[in-house]
Structure 1
Amino acid sequence: MTFFVVSQSVKNAHPMESNLSPDHQNKCSLYNFNHYLILDTNVILDQMDILEESALGNVIILHTVLKEVKHRSLPIYKRLYSIIDNPSRYFFVFTNDHHKDTYILQEDCELINDYNDRCIRKACSWYMRHLPREKFVFLTDDANNRALALEEGILSCSISQYVEHLNNNSILQDKLSRKEFFIDSNTKDVFPPHLTTVELLNGIKEGKLHQGTFRASRDNFLEGYISVDAFDKAVIVQGRDGLNRAVDGDIVVVELFKEEDWISPSEIILEDEGVAEENIDEIELKEWELKKSTHKKKGEIKPTGRVVGIIRRKWRQYCGILQGGMDGLYQLFVPSDKSIPKIRIETRQAEFLRTQKLIVTIDSWPRYSRYPHGHFVRALGKIGDQTTENEVILLEHDVPHSQFSEEVLSCLPKLPWIITEEDVKRRVDLRHIDICSVDPPGCTDIDDALHCRLIGNDYLEVGVHIADVSHFIRPGTAIDIEAASRATTVYLVNKRIDMVPELLSSNLCSLRGGEERFAFSCIWEMDKNANILNTRFHKSIIQSRKAMTYEEAQITIDDKSKTDSIAESLRNLNMLAKILKKRRLEKGALVLASPEVKIMMDSETMEPLDVEVKKLFETNSMVEEFMLLANISVAEKILEDFPECAMLRRHPTPPTSNFDPLIKAGRHLGFEIQIDCGKNLAQSLDDAEKPNNPYLNTMLRILATRCMLQAVYFASGAFQKDEYYHYGLAVPLYTHFTSPIRRYADIIVHRLLAVSCGSDSTYPDLLDKEKTNNLCQNLNYRNRMAQYAGRASVAFNTHLFFKGKIQDEDGYILYVRKNALQILIPKYGLECTLFLAQKGESSNVFEYNEEDQTQKAGDIVLHSFDPVKVRLCIDSNNIQHEKFALQLVAPYIDGFSVKPLNEMEVDENKTGHIEKKRKMPGEGNKKKSKKKQ
């Protein structure tokens, strides 16, 4: 069978072998004969999850449709092309708009959609004439187009009709995207209607309405915030009318209330516990609780309004589980991301899917439905399985994690890799210098190494040597495009998702001890007061003498009996680093705090053995200071040579409103936090100490961290010079040069620096400000998602470690809420919620003082940062959102607190009821580990 494909000329048609197969059978009971399928644009845009199933084959994609799909959704276009490229799927592209018998002109005043529909029908009719012995079925969900097709004698039906009549269709029916609903006339609206597009645009133009991005609260499912350019503070929206079917990330239009109706953010935590579509009573009760807690606190009132329309949906595929307790065809899907509402889906395999982590996508959200409607995409694996949970974390945070393609792998150098005489001629040979690396234990992707040696009696030569990844990754190659897309290496607790293949990340680019490697070196000449006298950059060849951990380097420095060149080098580096850090802090650099958790894993079972806050050494700070200095020095060099297209990193000054929680917390403790500049903020944090509460200063710094904006990459030509400033580091200029194995930004910076040094030539994209800026947007997004994925992995493994354990731990109150306390547990770097009342209700034990932000019970008053002791265990009632359940142990409050565990055991022993001793962290596992040893 021959199908005609036409190249550029509409007249010169030539036969071309197609991907269609006479052996494939489309078995649909609507048509008792074999047939070929022709699809319209919306079927592809809406039903890609169906098309990716192997049940459908012998599909003809018209070029008219392909162009429209590409114009309307690039991600769907890419998914479609991967199917077309797979010869086993039997998908074929026919260039109908370049064929003499199927090309038609657009009529005057004809809408583009009507024209495209007419082109599709013309191609269907041509196929029927061209191959009269074959049968063709046109699939379209447009009822009008379907009717016109039938009038023209073209077999046509909707995708849902077609799928429902396929053999073994239960899984396919679950994957149908349904946007047409038959509404009973008695159905009541749950949400107000959205304004029309014309009304929204006119309202924005006239300034009566405002456009912004909606962000849902993670603590309160009936509250959200909209970032609007016209206001410094985000606009608050509350309740069903306020949120009006907005989903986190949507671009929405908001109508502001009168200023006298503006409110402060709620101080209660509300969770959606609804189990049925029709259960409106529960949501009304929650709204009543929210309204009761609404207040207008002076200084905290924010613009308030309601969503009146959606400009653009940011819906994506969501990971999660089915909610229990529901029977029948309709089920509620609970997303892993707490900021996303539950989703109503149809499924005929609920019993199996209840055991699985799923992917579901949203199709629509009609105003009569409490929840958005969606469809099942695929099952990821069994709930609780660690591999499945890692997959969920990566998917939820949009982390590219597929295997590297053959095209990418073909860019790698062949082994054995050797350094040639030609390489030595092009580089500065530093193999004679005693260089070493200092990294966390177990690190295999070693980006950086250091050296320090005396020059005469008064001067020191200090070198930072960075892996020369750009030597192996050339611009425009498949490996370069893949690295730019991934943007960063992602670190999970027991898994690393590399930005570049392992041959580079853990071998040829890793500055391993005893191995000759290519590097990019930044070398300073300094006096002993850390003043820089001279700076030079060059590509080099190095041979690290030793790859050390932070602890090993610290032991070497502290052991005065060690006098070898590496020990002396480390001591001098440490001495200079202390001077650099002191000088940096004096200029206003911030020392912020964020509890970093280390999870010890069993090497065989990969189960968490212990959770602890990472231990820091002086050598951590030593390495950090020289990496900062290298980044600053490189930033100055590339900006000098590339004033319009240097890739830099800025940290914007936070708006003053961001500091409100910090100022308020400080004031309650008797400290005045100055925020007029970074230097005064740093000094205020340094001064905020109390001898009786040693952890207070750390908690204030944690709060300060949460006031900050995200640091971002940018092209130098896109901002004014005063906007280059890095607020956190208090430096006018900064970039990333020191981690090219795990950050793509550093590769770009290396290329710029290589051109500056005459080590490499430039290329057009490197000098294109617009392309650099677009690249920066992807880098900023991927870096943010990588951070979130790492935190989610730590949270999952921490929960896994605490499962089945009950223990009492020391903690501190971080925030006082109306119905809860946010407790920080320093030992594990945990932040958990201790509820004082159920379901947002007022407590019978505690009295909340809104002005002072305190909770009072009898003579006991609880303030922010007060020390407490809490009982810690995992609440597994909600498998999807397992959380820590806390009980107060101390201070003891009659009718609310619980006795310490050791006292409970004593009491039970006295009565003859001996309680089995509860397992403490790592207790059971330690025995197992000992046995293995």
Structure 2
Amino acid sequence: MLAVGGICGTLEPFMEKSMTIDKDRVAVQYLFEGEPSKTWRAGEIAGTLGFRGKQLKRLQGLLLELTREGVIRQIQPGRYALGQPDDMTTGRLTVVRSGAGYVVNPKTGASIWIQNADQGTALPGDTVTVRQYHAGGDEARGKVIRIDQRSTRDIVGTLFSKGQHVYVVPLDPAFRQDFAVADVKGAADGDRVVIRLTDWQDRNRAPQGEIVDVIGPADKPSLDTDVVCRQYDLPKAFPQAALAEAERVAALLSEPGDRVDLRDTTILTIDPVKARDFDDALSFSRDDRGRRLLGVHIADVAHFVRMGSALDAEARERATSVYLVDKVIPMLPEQLSNGVCSLRPDEDRLCFSAFLTFDADGKMVGRRFAKTIIRSSLRLNYEQAMAIINGAPVEGLPQPPPERAVALIREAHALAQQLRQNRMQAGALDLEVPECEVLLDETGRMTRIRINPSDASHQMIEECMVAANEAVASELASRSIKILSRLHEPPDPEKIDELQAALVLLGFKPGDLSNPQRMARFLAESADHPLKHHAHTLVLRSMKRAIYSADAAGHFGLAKQWYSHFTSPIRRYPDLVLHRQLAAYLAGPGVKGAMPAGYLAAAAIHCTEMEQRADDASRALIEIKKYRFLQQQLDDQKPVVYDAVVSRVTTFGIFLDVADLQLTALVHVSLISDQFVTFNPSNETLNAGGTVYRVGTPVKAFVCKVDFIQRRADFALVREAKAADTRGDKKRPPEPHRRGEAHRHATAPAAKPHATTLPEHAMRRIHKRTQDAAGPRLAKTDAAAARSARPSKKAAASPQKHARQGPGGRKSGGRKR
């Protein structure tokens, strides 16, 4: 890569390792794709990208190569234009659990879906060129026509042997193939290993791999985090250059200078109990006309992380902090994230502040922005803020909060409720899908799940952050400055149709959910319904994922025309980009803070991918802990009875949403009834001896099998004791023995699950069923399930789904957007 400025220099940080075989080529390609309608002279390209002297011959070769491949076309001697046909796209292949994959079109941000059969020998993470062959409705489809670059990411899996054959089953269900290996490198059966692809030319033969590291036995919970970090290629230690720079810049905290001095203003932070990186704070006042003035003060990370520095390069590469069950992998070194950038109480801190003025109706009537210096008066957690809102005693503080802080919170809460109501009336979605926190013991095993509430204190911070994010985006957009937007598109019409049909089966009358206001009203109307959780989860699953975009704007979930991320620069790189753009704009006339289109486009793709990687890694570790928890119930012969609701009905069984585990589980048709079971496709019901199961039917169930390879659990239904006694136990595990009232698991959010002991003959049946499917047990925990016979490729396309991150994005333990 040329060590020069311009687009070439700004694009370099966003080139994924799997795509950097030729950075010069990628830079030239992005130059054309950034301005697809522009024609370029060869001299223009050289000047923009910094090709000089002998490097011009290199550029000539690249232009010839790209012309031959159809990426660009020569319209006259020495003049070129984007030439790749509209039906061809190059990008990174992402594969979902079902086996289907997609590539994001860098020009439009749209996903081109690729069926498993059309992927050839491409693997997840490979850079491929796709030809679009079908565009029915809003969903484009395509076929991989070539693999441009293999991913260099390691693959984590479990080692198995069968006779003379040794193979590795990847943990990531996106990989549909087992890898043949020749040398086990000292690994034993059932060990977690790291492999790299060495060869795969024929789709009808297994890909070849090489073991590059042995992590350890699959049945050691303490290794789970290491496994996930390797599987998702999460960042390791910071480079020495970045750490040294962090030490140096941490001393840059200086006198206010031309900053607005707010050190005498009452300002406070509200964060989760365990939070250490306090990147936002609030103030509140009224102007001489009685209008409310909300101050949102964000850590001025850009003051310490200068563009082009070693710190900036590492932050760009990471793009986001990663929040795992038992650790945080920060975007910035601790000297900044938990030190000089963290808005700790009673310490001078540099901020970028948004001052937002609201009238009596909650309409924003003014906005201004300034570099400031603050001194936080008080650090509160959400529970303490909630106590102040409710007028209750505040626990955990050395002394009662000062009256000014109490007044600030109550005023901010009243404003936030008004802002929230205005958003809902505009069509914003109030999705009440609970956040869960997995609690572990000292060995790394899960002990329980705690459901974190979404109360008024969380909503207050959420509304203040949303208002600040919208204000910055609107200000820059009004000045025609292209920004890195947070884009959330409306759901596809097909998804809306499926959603409406599912809600009708639940007994709701949703109406026309293609209308955002109607969808918002439905969510509000269902707030007190017994099936609210399931209904809101269905709505969330119908939504598209929020992404970053340099071209499009609009946030469907929040009902905002302009929206960006400004409020969390300690943990999100897009916020840092926006800080720089806003600072350049405020610097004075003629300085608009514009960035090259290629820079923002590349940043949008990279930051979206890194955000999704972080989400996937966090979710994967939570899943592993949950399945260990369920396997332990089987090993201890103490399965727990859970309240669940039917979420899907099929010919082969029913899927359950187990709310207390935040888990989807299958009950196979053979475990539903000993009598003849019929499936009615017209209304999607199963009739089992007179008992009808449909979407929304409440049931009680317990685990009977755990499959770590597919990351899923099979459950069995609890039937009445009388029925279980008379029908015998020929076909299904008998029910847990229950005395008196039926057991209810975790009736309070933080309650520990009630263990129900099964009769000995029932446990024999359960273990026989598990071993029949699993074969010889490797150990008494998850190694047994890890050895299970892998389902066919069709069976592997599990319909199990996971609730996506909310449209606005959240910080672990909080609801900041």
CA deviation after TM superposition for structure 1 residue 381, in Å: 3.6
Contact 1:820 1:836 in 2 (8 A): yes
Q: Does 1:662 align with 2:499?
A: yes
CA deviation after TM superposition for structure 1 residue 456, in Å: 5.5
Alignment of 1:877-916 (within 5 A): 880-881=709-710, 883-890=712-719, 896=732, 898-903=734-739
Once residues 104 and 94 of structure 2 are traced to their aligned partners in structure 1, the CA distance between those partners, rounded to angstroms, is: 11
Q: Does 1:584 align with 2:415?
A: no
Once residues 221 and 563 of structure 2 are traced to their aligned partners in structure 1, the CA distance between those partners, rounded to angstroms, is: 39
Partner of 1:922: none
Once residues 125 and 758 of structure 2 are traced to their aligned partners in structure 1, the CA distance between those partners, rounded to angstroms, is: 58
Contact 1:812 1:825 in 2 (8 A): yes
Sort the Cα spacing of 1:901 and 1:675 in 2 relative to 1 into closer, same or farther, 3 A. same
Within the candidate set 507, 519, 528, 1:681 is matched to 519
Partner of 1:635: 473
Sort the Cα spacing of 1:915 and 1:777 in 2 relative to 1 into closer, same or farther, 3 A. closer
CA deviation after TM superposition for structure 1 residue 790, in Å: 1.4
Q: Does 1:804 align with 2:632?
A: yes
Once residues 698 and 416 of structure 1 are traced to their aligned partners in structure 2, the CA distance between those partners, rounded to angstroms, is: 45
Sort the Cα spacing of 1:365 and 1:442 in 2 relative to 1 into closer, same or farther, 3 A. same
Partner of 1:496: 328
Contact 2:565 2:578 in 1 (8 A): yes
Sort the Cα spacing of 1:666 and 1:609 in 2 relative to 1 into closer, same or farther, 3 A. closer
Q: Write out per-residue CA displacement over residues 516-559 of structure 1, whole angstroms, 9 at most, x where no aligned residue.
A: 21111111233444333432211111111111111111112222
Sort the Cα spacing of 1:496 and 1:634 in 2 relative to 1 into closer, same or farther, 3 A. same
Partner of 1:348: 183
Q: Does 1:772 align with 2:604?
A: no
Once residues 619 and 848 of structure 1 are traced to their aligned partners in structure 2, the CA distance between those partners, rounded to angstroms, is: 46
SS in 1 for 2:229: helix
Contact 1:856 1:862 in 2 (8 A): yes
Sort the Cα spacing of 1:325 and 1:646 in 2 relative to 1 into closer, same or farther, 3 A. closer
Partner of 1:856: 687
Once residues 585 and 318 of structure 1 are traced to their aligned partners in structure 2, the CA distance between those partners, rounded to angstroms, is: 45
Once residues 813 and 899 of structure 1 are traced to their aligned partners in structure 2, the CA distance between those partners, rounded to angstroms, is: 19
CA deviation after TM superposition for structure 1 residue 617, in Å: 2.0
CA deviation after TM superposition for structure 1 residue 740, in Å: 0.5
Once residues 157 and 499 of structure 2 are traced to their aligned partners in structure 1, the CA distance between those partners, rounded to angstroms, is: 37
AA at the equivalent of 2:271:
D
Contact 1:909 1:915 in 2 (8 A): no
CA deviation after TM superposition for structure 1 residue 441, in Å: 1.2
Q: Write out per-residue CA displacement over residues 347-378 of structure 1, whole angstroms, 9 at most, x where no aligned residue.
A: 33376243532122233335484422222222
Contact 2:675 2:688 in 1 (8 A): no
Sort the Cα spacing of 1:407 and 1:557 in 2 relative to 1 into closer, same or farther, 3 A. same
Q: Does 1:568 align with 2:414?
A: no
Partner of 1:20: none
Partner of 1:339: 174
Once residues 735 and 379 of structure 1 are traced to their aligned partners in structure 2, the CA distance between those partners, rounded to angstroms, is: 42
SS in 2 for 1:728: coil
Once residues 736 and 516 of structure 2 are traced to their aligned partners in structure 1, the CA distance between those partners, rounded to angstroms, is: 43
CA deviation after TM superposition for structure 1 residue 315, in Å: 4.6
Once residues 87 and 320 of structure 2 are traced to their aligned partners in structure 1, the CA distance between those partners, rounded to angstroms, is: 42
Q: Does 1:748 align with 2:582?
A: no
Q: Does 1:383 align with 2:213?
A: no
SS in 2 for 1:378: strand
SS in 1 for 2:509: coil
CA deviation after TM superposition for structure 1 residue 731, in Å: 0.9
Within the candidate set 818, 830, 834, 2:651 is matched to 818
Within the candidate set 395, 407, 412, 2:246 is matched to 412
Sort the Cα spacing of 1:887 and 1:72 in 2 relative to 1 into closer, same or farther, 3 A. farther
Contact 1:440 1:549 in 2 (8 A): yes
CA deviation after TM superposition for structure 1 residue 724, in Å: 1.5
Q: Does 1:865 align with 2:702?
A: no
CA deviation after TM superposition for structure 1 residue 713, in Å: 1.9
Once residues 503 and 793 of structure 1 are traced to their aligned partners in structure 2, the CA distance between those partners, rounded to angstroms, is: 27
Q: Write out per-residue CA displacement over residues 114-135 of structure 1, whole angstroms, 9 at most, x where no aligned residue.
A: xxxxxxxxxxxxxxxxxxxxxx
Aligned Cα root-mean-square deviation (Å): 4.5
Once residues 511 and 544 of structure 1 are traced to their aligned partners in structure 2, the CA distance between those partners, rounded to angstroms, is: 7
Once residues 606 and 366 of structure 1 are traced to their aligned partners in structure 2, the CA distance between those partners, rounded to angstroms, is: 40
Partner of 1:649: 486
Once residues 602 and 760 of structure 2 are traced to their aligned partners in structure 1, the CA distance between those partners, rounded to angstroms, is: 71
Once residues 102 and 286 of structure 2 are traced to their aligned partners in structure 1, the CA distance between those partners, rounded to angstroms, is: 57
Within the candidate set 269, 281, 295, 1:449 is matched to 281
Contact 1:522 1:536 in 2 (8 A): yes
Q: After superposing the two structures, state which structure 1 stretch, 656-665 or 745-754, moved more.
A: 656-665
Q: Does 1:475 align with 2:299?
A: no
Once residues 458 and 407 of structure 2 are traced to their aligned partners in structure 1, the CA distance between those partners, rounded to angstroms, is: 17
Sort the Cα spacing of 1:387 and 1:529 in 2 relative to 1 into closer, same or farther, 3 A. same
Alignment of 1:289-300 (within 5 A): none
Contact 1:321 1:354 in 2 (8 A): no
Aligned-residue sequence identity (percent) comes to 25
Sort the Cα spacing of 1:900 and 1:751 in 2 relative to 1 into closer, same or farther, 3 A. same
Partner of 1:160: none
TM-score by length of 1: 0.63
Q: Write out per-residue CA displacement over residues 642-673 of structure 1, whole angstroms, 9 at most, x where no aligned residue.
A: x2432222212222112233122022225244
Once residues 499 and 759 of structure 1 are traced to their aligned partners in structure 2, the CA distance between those partners, rounded to angstroms, is: 31
Once residues 120 and 403 of structure 2 are traced to their aligned partners in structure 1, the CA distance between those partners, rounded to angstroms, is: 69
SS in 2 for 1:807: coil
Alignment of 1:553-632 (within 5 A): 553-559=385-391, 564-602=403-441, 604-632=442-470
Sort the Cα spacing of 1:640 and 1:252 in 2 relative to 1 into closer, same or farther, 3 A. closer
Contact 2:112 2:132 in 1 (8 A): no
Once residues 411 and 208 of structure 1 are traced to their aligned partners in structure 2, the CA distance between those partners, rounded to angstroms, is: 46
SS in 2 for 1:571: helix
AA at the equivalent of 2:544:
L
Once residues 323 and 418 of structure 1 are traced to their aligned partners in structure 2, the CA distance between those partners, rounded to angstroms, is: 51
Q: Does 1:735 align with 2:564?
A: yes
Q: Does 1:372 align with 2:207?
A: yes
Q: After superposing the two structures, state which structure 1 stretch, 523-532 or 823-832, moved more.
A: 523-532
Q: Write out per-residue CA displacement over residues 551-597 of structure 1, whole angstroms, 9 at most, x where no aligned residue.
A: 11111222268771111110111111111000100000012244421
Q: Write out per-residue CA displacement over residues 873-909 of structure 1, whole angstroms, 9 at most, x where no aligned residue.
A: 662xx55455433111147785657423435999x99
Q: Write out per-residue CA displacement over residues 64-106 of structure 1, whole angstroms, 9 at most, x where no aligned residue.
A: xxx99777999xxxxxxxxxxxxxxxxxxxxxxxxxxxxxx99
Q: Which runs of 5+ in 1 are unaligned?
A: 1-47, 49-66, 75-104, 107-111, 114-196, 199-204, 263-298, 919-933
Once residues 255 and 68 of structure 1 are traced to their aligned partners in structure 2, the CA distance between those partners, rounded to angstroms, is: 25
CA deviation after TM superposition for structure 1 residue 493, in Å: 0.7
Once residues 754 and 733 of structure 1 are traced to their aligned partners in structure 2, the CA distance between those partners, rounded to angstroms, is: 19
AA at the equivalent of 1:391:
D
Sort the Cα spacing of 1:612 and 1:515 in 2 relative to 1 into closer, same or farther, 3 A. same
Partner of 2:587: 758
CA deviation after TM superposition for structure 1 residue 772, in Å: 1.8
Sort the Cα spacing of 1:234 and 1:784 in 2 relative to 1 into closer, same or farther, 3 A. closer
Partner of 1:61: none
Sort the Cα spacing of 1:213 and 1:747 in 2 relative to 1 into closer, same or farther, 3 A. closer
Once residues 644 and 344 of structure 1 are traced to their aligned partners in structure 2, the CA distance between those partners, rounded to angstroms, is: 49
Once residues 395 and 513 of structure 1 are traced to their aligned partners in structure 2, the CA distance between those partners, rounded to angstroms, is: 37
Sort the Cα spacing of 1:676 and 1:406 in 2 relative to 1 into closer, same or farther, 3 A. same
- Number of aligned pairs? 663
Structure showing greater Rg: 1
Partner of 1:126: none
Q: After superposing the two structures, state which structure 1 stretch, 678-687 or 752-761, moved more.
A: 752-761
Once residues 583 and 385 of structure 2 are traced to their aligned partners in structure 1, the CA distance between those partners, rounded to angstroms, is: 31
Sort the Cα spacing of 1:584 and 1:565 in 2 relative to 1 into closer, same or farther, 3 A. same
Once residues 741 and 190 of structure 2 are traced to their aligned partners in structure 1, the CA distance between those partners, rounded to angstroms, is: 37
AA at the equivalent of 1:743:
R
CA deviation after TM superposition for structure 1 residue 308, in Å: 8.7
Once residues 228 and 459 of structure 1 are traced to their aligned partners in structure 2, the CA distance between those partners, rounded to angstroms, is: 45
Within the candidate set 137, 140, 160, 1:324 is matched to 160
